[in-house]
Amino acid sequence: IAAPPRRAVAIGMSVASLRRRLAEEGLQFREVRAALLNSIAQSALKDGAAIGDVAESLGFSDGRSFARAFRQWNGVAPGDYRRKPA
């Protein structure tokens, strides 16, 4: 997920406008980015994707970095999340 300047350009607004809109909603770009990454990760894991593949596709430097972020977002390790009943 691109940084704020590239993301703003991609959706056709200035960086200042993007930040203002997010602030109006009480959000910060990093929070929106984390929520999106988490949602993508959860879907991929439930679909049976390998943890390393999910980490790489989301731009994490390695599986450990991804696992740490995933635990922070969900309170459970990626492998445990995948095994959890739907």
pLDDT band at 17 (very low <50, low <70, confident <90, very high): confident
Fold (topology level) of 4-83: Arc Repressor Mutant, subunit A (1.10.10)
Lowest mean per-residue pLDDT among 8-22, 30-44, 47-61: 8-22
Domain ranges, ordered by start, for the chain = 4-83
Asked if pLDDT for residue 53 goes beyond 90, the answer is: yes
Examine the pLDDT at 84 and tell me if it is beyond 90.
no
- Supply the pTM of this predicted model: 0.78
Produce one character per residue of 27-50: b if its CB has 16 or more CB atoms within 10 Å, e if not: eebeebeeeebbeebbebbeeebe
Number of other residues whose CB lies within 10 A of the CB of residue 51: 19
Q: Is the pLDDT of residue 2 over 60?
A: no
Task: Tell me which DSSP letter residue 48 carries.
Answer: T
3-state class (DSSP) for residue 13: coil
Q: What is the DSSP code (8-state) at residue 62?
A: S
Backbone angles phi, psi at 48, to 5 degrees: 95, 10
